[in-house]
Amino acid sequence: MSSRRPFIVGNWKMHKTVAETVGYVAEFASHLPSSSSGCDMAIAPPFTALSSAVAAAHGTTLQVFAQNVAAEGPSGAFTGEVSAAMLKEVGCQGVIVGHSERRRYYGETDAVGAMKTRRALDAQLLPIVCLGETLAERESGAALEVIARQLRAITDTLTDADVHRIVIAYEPVWAIGTGQAATPDIAQQMHRHIRAIWEATFGASADTLRILYGGSVTADNIAEFTALSDVDGALVGGASLSPSGFANLVRGALATSPASQGV
């Protein structure tokens, strides 16, 4: 069990209109257990719904994150891009960086992920940096090495002031949207690996680094992950789309977390 404060993040991907977002936030709040103050929670709606999500979540502990941010900035001729300062202005607290769908469908490299992380940090946004190996990489025995490479691309660019302002998500590509989550053993091994690299680079800050697991997390299996000593929460896709389901998932995370129970 982790002693760090749990963090549960819903990545909505390309789902939900403004009207659906506003309805979701109201319903989610009505399903939340009173113990939810023991956990950090965020949703990541599409860009068009961010402002409405922020307004709807006002006065609650639900945070709003973006799913992506421009690598360039603070402004310029970059058609279709949204800068970190723009996300900050509408009230986002953070942003997901380097999701495997961005890497796979939009050609984002480790270097681009590092630039986006820098932009987020400079705009006082909390980056959630996603790492994950493909099935082929796992089957060829390269999983640890791939994660190390992806992580070093980020750690190489961080200053000492940044190291407490970043969250890592381990999301094996083969587990995303497949219904086939990683086993607890795999998740614990990979999270430990990430924390060990962080510790070798930044020392004791590894103790407070939050590492989320992502890939087919549901209300039924969340507790298996949050019970692990190096798993500090989850990045959730499909199972975050229903407000009652996502509230149940938060309940499952709270059940296993000593941090959330003030222990």
| Residues at the site binding ligand PGA, with contacts judged by CB under 6 A | 11, 171, 176-177, 214-217, 235-239
In contact, 173 and 132? CB cutoff 8 Å: yes
Among this protein's residues, is 99 annotated catalytic?
A: yes
Peptide bond connecting 46 to the previous residue in cis, omega within 30 degrees of 0 = no
Of the two residues 108 and 171, which places its CB atom closer to ligand PGA in the complex? 171
> What is the smallest separation between the CB atom of 233 and ligand PGA, expressed in angstroms?
12
Of the two residues 217 and 254, which places its CB atom closer to ligand PGA in the complex? 217
d(CA 163, CA 97): 16
Q: Is 248 helix (H, G, I), strand (E, B) or coil?
A: helix
Annotated catalytic residue, options 99, 108, 137, 191: 99
Annotated catalytic residue, options 108, 137, 171, 224: 171
- For 79, left (φ over 0), alpha (ψ -120 to 50), or beta? beta
Among this protein's residues, is 72 annotated catalytic?
A: no
> What is the smallest separation between the CB atom of 249 and ligand PGA, expressed in angstroms?
10
> What is the smallest separation between the CB atom of 181 and ligand PGA, expressed in angstroms?
8
H/E element holding 65?
Answer: strand 62-66
Kindly tell me the burial class for residue 157, based on how many C-beta atoms sit within 10 Å of its own C-beta (0-12, 13-18, 19 or more): middle
The residue sitting closest to ligand PGA, measured at its beta carbon, is 237
Of the two residues 92 and 239, which places its CB atom closer to ligand PGA in the complex? 239
Of the two residues 184 and 202, which places its CB atom closer to ligand PGA in the complex? 184
In contact, 20 and 250? CB cutoff 8 Å: no
d(CA 153, CA 174): 22
Residues that are catalytic: 99, 171
